Structure 1
Amino acid sequence: MGQPALQVVPSGGRPAVPPGFVRRPRVADALNRGVRHPLTVVCAGAGYGKTLAVAAWASKTDQHIAWLVAGGAGGLRSFWLGVVAAITDADGDSGNAALADLTPGVEFGSAELERILDALCELRADTVLVVDDFHTISDPEVIASISELLDRRPSTLRLVLITRTEPPLRLRRRQIAGDLVEIGADELAFTRPEVEEFCRRAGADVSSADIDVIVEKTAGWPAGLRLLLLSADRGDLHEGLRRFGGKQRLVAAYLLEEVLDHIAPSDRKFLLATSIADPINANLARALTGRADSGTVLDGLVAINALTVQLTDREGWYSYHPLLRELLRSRLDAENPDIAAPLHRKAAAWFVGAGDPIEGLRHLGLAADWDQMLTVLATVAVPLILSPHAPALVAAMSPATVQNSRGPTVATLLIAAVAEFQRGDFAAMHQNAMAAKEFAEEGLPARLIIALCEMVHARISRLAELVDRGAAVATIVRSVPSSELPSAAGLLLIAENARGIGLMHRGDLEAASQILAVCRDRAAGAGISLMAIAASAYLTIIDVIHGALPAVGRQVGEVLATVDRRGWSREPQVTALYAAAALMHLERNELKLAEAAVERGCRGSRTQSDAGARVLLEIAAVRIAVVRGDVFAAREARVRLTAVCAAAGALPDLLRRWSHVAMTDVDLMEGAATDSVLVEPPEGDDYAAALERTLLAQFYLRTGHPEEVFRVLGNAARFAPYRVIAAKAAVLGAVAAHMLRRDSDALVRIGEAIALAEPVGAVRPFIVGGPSVPKLLERYHVVGERNQRFVEHVLEQLADGPRRPIEDDESADSHLTERELAVLRYLPTMYKAAEIAADLFVSVNTVKTHQQSIYRKLGVSTRRAAVERARERNLL
């Protein structure tokens, strides 16, 4: 069979623009720009409306348009005769006479071609030559002659080539020279507003949601839009949209006729095998097809515009049009129904090896290979459940969870357990894991997932077991060679993080800090962001315990900003952060902020998602109510705390004792005689013991036994690691000294409390000290010299209102009595004897007697000299 004959279409016979045609202004703009250059190439696959787009532009332009349809072009003579005829017809009377007179004979050679090229370069009127179906021209002589014409850069002739494939005209060189404008599928594809207009002009009643579906299914492919409306039942367009796809008869026929029938059999087989993955790259295609030339094949499909595109945002990756991919998958199932599952397994192995286990799991789900899915999940992917990729991970596992509801196996039960963890249904997680444990063999994947689920369960309802459960996971991980367990590093982080949190709950703060700091840093580096946040949150709670309140404020602010920005405020790993914020604000007496943190933590956390953090939130709620003096709120908070502690199971040591102290605070607030207060101070100098000692000191103050306070508190050094507790102990000691009329000792102790509390902004130690604390602070502010702004701030907090400016404190000497030292501190002030007497609750004569004794012991005779001598001896 010979080549199809060339068609010469007169200018008046170029394709007519149909009435419902949707114009694309960007294409017209590109063509207007293009005809200012020697060459414009409109290149896209079948069905992109290339010809109509150019025809629509031609109908509106003032340019002389010569339109030539190449139907295979039967050689050099046939092509150029067609060109001459088309241009002559387009120019009419204004054409070039030399070109119009050309009538080459049968013998057409280089001389005749030269005459035509010369004539084209001398056209008097600007002319645009449109060559449609350029991709059908395969004669090398024709291609070479067009290239020669372009090299001459005729000033009045512009070429517009409409083609399905990129023409072999050295386009990159012409692009660099500025002689080329290209219009591709991206410009020709319909935008969403254009899809909407297309449907409206076609009389289709579609909703905004329908438009979204159409855009998704057709990707703006004009032929796809027409096929959709042709195949859909106008009486039930929505159902038609739902069913529309590459498998529909009309669509399949078009794709077969216009795309697949023009592709070599070997490439067709390549398309079928690679259609199971989207997108695809050369290495993945090689794994699926065994073809070493996969990259070349993909580039060739792009070059011939076989509805295949190279992705601009992922170098080396390609994608098939959605309708073509659906047809290919349908043909794959029809022609070889047993090949899809093995192909998906190959794809899964490739993706796991390439570091994308989620996509690997998705392919295993499509292959219904649940055992291998469990293996990949346990050995590679499970740490991702604590990362931003968790929803995608669970989505990839969804076929297994669906299968689990139909016919559970050990593999589907454990896969479903991991999915339930991400969804926050921890009861279902534990139930699935325990069901699997009854039948699970000793395989590594099952043992790992079961151990992880038991560890999570301990964190929710068996807090005392958390350290041991974390250690059990770590033991399993370390027993396996790292080559067999790619996720080992992530799994060890998960286990160690749980151990660190459990140690913090026990009160082993130093070991907990070391473990959690490592977990935070490594988890952040490994992209396990939620674990990093959990570790940071518990480190922040440890900082609260040590009284590093400014550092806590900074850390809480930074992490909460990340949490809010990423939409993680309801993730269970964040609960402890709200607890840290609440405890920090409480110590600073920022009660509204503390209350907001408690509310946000309780509202955002899932039920018992982190029982330890929830206990701490309720402890903060109890103490907020106690500081406010709100008996009813304190009782309600105590009830909630009791319930949360019961749900958490046997509590570790620190949480158990901390909760007990908070509950007993409510008893003391109510003035109830209670057996819950210890009679003797606890052993040890840990944080729980510090809490209990200060609680017992409060009890003795309230029951009128100040002398017992010093026995209970003992050596102040035991409170040194816990700055805020140390400040509270100093306040309680000051109050006890004041009650025993040891005024100088009281001032020294209140000064110690201020020195401890001021750098971290701790106010609560003064608030819980009782009604005599404001008087002690007033005295300190009169005779002291340091931290006066902080003292004023605390007094304002206690008085709930502003005060006047004030001043500061020092220490005392042993050869003066307590009363003499107390009076001495007033001497540098403007207080008169009567004012000093009123402040110290003694008579004026007593003050004068102490004053004369001070003068005698210091060897002076005036008040001013006494002040100077006292300063020389560091008594002031």
Structure 2
Amino acid sequence: MRLSQPNVSGRLVDRPRLLDELAAGLSPPGGSFVVLSAPAGHGKTVLLGQWMSVALAAGRAVGWCSLDRDDRDPSVFWESVLTAVEMAAPASVSSGQLVLPAPPPAGGFEPKDHRRFLLDIQAALEELGDGAAVILDDTHLLAGSPAEDEFRELLELCPANAHLAFATRTSLPDQRARLVRRVHEIDAKSLLFTRSETAELFDGFAVAECVIDELFRSSEGWPAVLGLALPEVALPQGAIPTDVPAASARELLDPDVLYEYFQREIFDQVDPQDQPTLFAFAICPVLSADLADAILQQESSAISLRRLARNNPMLRRTSTDSNGRSWYRVNPLYAEFLREKLISSQPGLLRRGGAIAVAWHLEWGDPRAALRLAAELAEPELLHSVMRRVGCELIADGHSSDLLALAATHGSALLAGVFSPLIVALAAVSEGKVERAEETMANAKPRGLQDEDALEWDWLKYVVAVRIALAHNERVTAVSSGWPDETISALPAPLRTAVHLTRGLAQTRVGEVSGAREELEASRATAESRGDLSSEVMSMVGLAATALGRTDLRQTLAYAERAVALAEDTESQDLSLALAAANILIAWGRFEMLDVAAAQANAELAQQFAAQQPLEELALQARHVYQWVTFDTLPDRRRVAQEFTGAWPPNYALQAAPSLVVPSLHAGLSMARALGEPRWTERLLERSRVVLGDGYDWQVASALVHYSMGRQSSARGILSPLLESSHRPRTPSSEIIAWSLDSVLEFESGNSFRAHEAMIRALAGAGDTGAFAEVLRSEPSVVRTVLARGLDRFGDHIPVAEQLIASGMSRPDSGLGHLTPKERELLAELKSLRTVAEISSDMLLSVNTVKTHMRGIYRKLNVSSRRRAVSEAERRGLL
């Protein structure tokens, strides 16, 4: 035993979070136990020594005892404890007041004498008072010895005032302490260094931040390894560290010293029956029991892994998967140590077990792990086979960045395969790294392929070429695989899905709606049948975009919301790209259908998900949609409008279908008009002519611009020929705007009948498509007046008209209902000065019936008087 406070040499780091936790657990009044439970190398002794120094400096009495193997003898153990208790006696009780029993003789006490001895120990501890504390280090050495039972007795007899801290590498019988709720445990996870503590440890040394980061990641904050990494410079207490430059963490870690520590302090402490299981981690740093059984050809891994995770500092249980498997992982540095041992002792197991692990992961586990293991085995044939099998699947699941990282680490070996360059190129373009994709694709050569392999290679090259063309906003009609379409059915399922999805997205972009729907439905069906959730979600997003392309807002929302619902079913795949695109579509669809608050929420989500992707075009589109649907509330509207209109058209609008370009154009026109900037509208109109041509869609936008500038006659001159023609190509949005603008022009010229007829046409288009907001593009206040005055004559379109009227109110009108024809007739009479009796006489109604209608009007307008009803009706455009 050692009865003095340890003299901890070397460089110390203040760890206030742990010292505060110790202080809280050992603070009077009231006693408690603090257990530091962690394997070797976690700094338990150092931390207790630091706390003891602080406590002694504050005048507190603390006793210390470091146990050794001699303390497995109960008589030696109690002698150590009694000496530590005597050290912990405060000055007020040290002068003869503290009576300690004699330690037991070598042969032990008789039962009666043993009981008396324990009671005397308890009395002595009570005499210590609340301030004293006793520290026992290395209590794990008692495990399995007679002294372990004595230690349990000590825990049970400790009085309510006693403060006891002990450090152990294993779990000792402290159930009694737990039952009385007096124990506070600091475990191995808490004792690990944080990133900031690691930086403090190397403060003053010429060690780059990136090296500290690498060392922190590889050591996972394990104090022993970080201590071994300190430059070998003798540092007296308080000395200034010597500059020791290092290019990497490996230069700071002497492998011989590190491996000797692993061997002596970790590996040799493992039960021999569990050592073979450790070697499985040399092959797979992350293991489940059945994977370990497969690698080692045994059936006992589950029990062994549980023991190892409980007692080994380099190993811990991390998770349980959906199949109920428990997964364990080993420290990366310790995995290297195990790998070296395995190479020297069983080189055949490393290669054989690696191949088994690859096959297991392909069948039951993680394709990324299969590919990584195949790359580490450095067997070209196996690596290329795995790459071909899982490459497209990994990209579809959102793991392109992982694949690119693997290619950077194992570049020459991985890219040597015939299919590998194309797969890496596909991953690169999926991450927005188009130049890298083009460079990698240029090195792809179909060397020595048979017909079946050539078919797959050519279609994969086609997918990459189309994705690159889409990234460049180019048309892809000239891109071909060289094979008939019917050969797609012979492709592997992941590639078949990718072909259909890519073709569908390309056709959606240029407005080939029917072809796009067919391809995307094929992609969705294939993905669903094979459980490819990522491709299924992206196919649904593509279908939503197709629906938007034909201006079917309800179907757009249905597909996009279904995509979001599917994406929420998984946490294992990165679906941020699909979720960003889906929320962009939902935001615009809800905005068009006048659900502005929901649209703004989805626009915010779109920006959040887009920020998780490296695709600048996606981020730009998400930002623009957010600006469109929140424009009226933005504090910097002028800057936003100037930026948008000045840079229009954005890249994503180039080569896109007119039905996707027109909403973007009108969003910009609305911004410029709201700020009274005719120059911006003229510039937009000029640029849109290049993108759209000078057909129906551009002519409608031109008429709207002329109207906004007060040139009603010019607007009429442009609009009239368009309305009379039925042969020009047009988007539904433009047609709705045209009829709405015609209605406004007719109303302002005094022709209410023709204004009403034109508005019916606009409402019909809005009802068919869900593009309600387009009805309000011309002049919202006039539109609402036309709608309000003819509300009861819109027939099936009354609900749409009511929603358009309500969209201009300062408070929600849901649940109020629309006014009946009699109520609308009565509302017009309320503006007059006539009495209720006079009104009832003219309307051929009883006074009570008129009063009933008046109460209905008040309720629906949310008012309480005739005067307020008239005022509210005028504000809403009902009068």
Q: TM-score, normalised by structure 1?
A: 0.64
Give the aligned partner of residue 78 of structure 1: 76
- Per-residue Cα deviation, 1:424-447 (whole angstroms, up to 9, x for no partner): 355764786686464333238646
CA–CA distance in 2 between the matches of 1:25 and 1:585?
A: 47
| 2:6 counterpart of 1:15 | yes
Give the aligned partner of residue 421 of structure 2: 413
CA–CA distance in 2 between the matches of 1:120 and 1:781?
A: 94
- Per-residue Cα deviation, 1:574-604 (whole angstroms, up to 9, x for no partner): 8888999999999xxx999898668788667
Give the aligned partner of residue 774 of structure 2: 762
- Per-residue Cα deviation, 1:452-481 (whole angstroms, up to 9, x for no partner): 335536756454478x979977x556447x
Give the aligned partner of residue 229 of structure 1: 230
Instruction: Please point out which of 586, 605, 624 is paired with 1:562.
Output: 605
Larger radius of gyration: 1
Matched-pair contact (CA < 8 Å) for 2:287–2:329 = yes
SS at match of 2:185: strand
Displacement of 1:393 in angstroms is 4.0
- Matched to 2:127, the amino acid is A
Q: Which moved more, 1:407-416 or 1:382-391?
A: 382-391
| 2:588 counterpart of 1:551 | no
Give the aligned partner of residue 656 of structure 2: 612
Aligned CA RMSD, in angstroms, stands at 5.8
Displacement of 1:204 in angstroms is 3.0
Give the aligned partner of residue 661 of structure 1: 695
- Matched to 1:195, the amino acid is T
Name the CA shift for 1:15/1:354 in 2 (closer, same or farther; >3 Å).
same
CA–CA distance in 1 between the matches of 2:9 and 2:223?
A: 14
Name the CA shift for 1:271/1:351 in 2 (closer, same or farther; >3 Å).
same
- Equivalences, count: 708
Displacement of 1:99 in angstroms is 0.5
Q: How does 1:66-145 map to 2 (within 5 A)?
A: 66-73=64-71, 75-88=73-86, 91=89, 93-94=95-96, 96-97=98-99, 99-100=101-102, 102=103, 104=105, 106=107, 110=111, 113-123=114-124, 124-126=126-128, 128-145=133-150
SS at match of 1:310: strand
Give the aligned partner of residue 48 of structure 1: 42
CA–CA distance in 2 between the matches of 1:428 and 1:198?
A: 40
Give the aligned partner of residue 725 of structure 1: 735
Give the aligned partner of residue 195 of structure 1: 198
Name the CA shift for 1:55/1:612 in 2 (closer, same or farther; >3 Å).
same
Displacement of 1:422 in angstroms is 1.9
Q: How does 1:830-869 map to 2 (within 5 A)?
A: none
Give the aligned partner of residue 453 of structure 1: 464
SS at match of 1:162: strand
Give the aligned partner of residue 651 of structure 1: none
Name the CA shift for 1:621/1:660 in 2 (closer, same or farther; >3 Å).
same
Instruction: Please point out which of 255, 263, 270 is paired with 2:262.
Output: 255
Instruction: Please point out which of 166, 183, 187 is paired with 1:184.
Output: 187
| 2:723 counterpart of 1:713 | no
- Matched to 2:74, the amino acid is L
SS at match of 1:410: coil
> Structure 2: any 5+ residue segments left out of the alignment?
235-240, 555-587, 632-636, 704-713, 795-799, 806-879
Give the aligned partner of residue 562 of structure 2: none
Matched-pair contact (CA < 8 Å) for 1:26–1:187 = no
- Matched to 1:550, the amino acid is E
- Matched to 1:539, the amino acid is A
Matched-pair contact (CA < 8 Å) for 1:48–1:221 = yes
Q: Which moved more, 1:210-219 or 1:182-191?
A: 210-219
Give the aligned partner of residue 808 of structure 2: none
Matched-pair contact (CA < 8 Å) for 1:40–1:160 = yes
Displacement of 1:451 in angstroms is 4.8
Displacement of 1:564 in angstroms is 0.5
Give the aligned partner of residue 507 of structure 2: 502
Give the aligned partner of residue 808 of structure 1: none
Instruction: Please point out which of 308, 316, 329 is paired with 1:319.
Output: 329
CA–CA distance in 1 between the matches of 2:160 and 2:756?
A: 100
Q: How does 1:198-347 map to 2 (within 5 A)?
A: 198-200=201-203, 204-205=205-206, 211-231=212-232, 237-239=244-246, 241-244=248-251, 248-311=255-318, 316-336=326-346, 339-347=349-357
Displacement of 1:79 in angstroms is 2.7
- Matched to 1:47, the amino acid is G
CA–CA distance in 2 between the matches of 1:478 and 1:730?
A: 48
CA–CA distance in 2 between the matches of 1:564 and 1:415?
A: 29
CA–CA distance in 2 between the matches of 1:174 and 1:552?
A: 63
CA–CA distance in 2 between the matches of 1:731 and 1:371?
A: 68
Displacement of 1:50 in angstroms is 1.6
Instruction: Please point out which of 367, 390, 393 is paired with 2:400.
Output: 390
CA–CA distance in 2 between the matches of 1:368 and 1:573?
A: 38
Matched-pair contact (CA < 8 Å) for 1:70–1:132 = no
Matched-pair contact (CA < 8 Å) for 1:579–1:617 = no
Give the aligned partner of residue 351 of structure 1: 361
CA–CA distance in 2 between the matches of 1:14 and 1:667?
A: 86
Matched-pair contact (CA < 8 Å) for 1:544–1:552 = no
CA–CA distance in 2 between the matches of 1:293 and 1:511?
A: 54
Matched-pair contact (CA < 8 Å) for 1:38–1:157 = yes
Name the CA shift for 1:512/1:742 in 2 (closer, same or farther; >3 Å).
farther
Q: How does 1:680-699 map to 2 (within 5 A)?
A: none
| 2:52 counterpart of 1:58 | yes
Give the aligned partner of residue 821 of structure 1: none
| 2:548 counterpart of 1:540 | yes
Displacement of 1:34 in angstroms is 4.3
| 2:494 counterpart of 1:492 | no
Name the CA shift for 1:400/1:187 in 2 (closer, same or farther; >3 Å).
closer
Displacement of 1:365 in angstroms is 2.5
- Matched to 1:612, the amino acid is A
Displacement of 1:175 in angstroms is 1.9
CA–CA distance in 1 between the matches of 2:488 and 2:254?
A: 48
Name the CA shift for 1:525/1:172 in 2 (closer, same or farther; >3 Å).
farther
Matched-pair contact (CA < 8 Å) for 1:622–1:663 = no
SS at match of 2:368: helix
Q: How does 1:570-585 map to 2 (within 5 A)?
A: 570=615
- Matched to 1:140, the amino acid is S
Give the aligned partner of residue 816 of structure 1: none
Give the aligned partner of residue 834 of structure 2: none
CA–CA distance in 2 between the matches of 1:724 and 1:326?
A: 66
- Matched to 1:122, the amino acid is A
Instruction: Please point out which of 370, 392, 417 is paired with 1:360.
Output: 370
SS at match of 2:140: helix
Name the CA shift for 1:24/1:428 in 2 (closer, same or farther; >3 Å).
closer
Name the CA shift for 1:456/1:242 in 2 (closer, same or farther; >3 Å).
same
Name the CA shift for 1:527/1:339 in 2 (closer, same or farther; >3 Å).
same
Name the CA shift for 1:231/1:87 in 2 (closer, same or farther; >3 Å).
same
SS at match of 2:244: helix
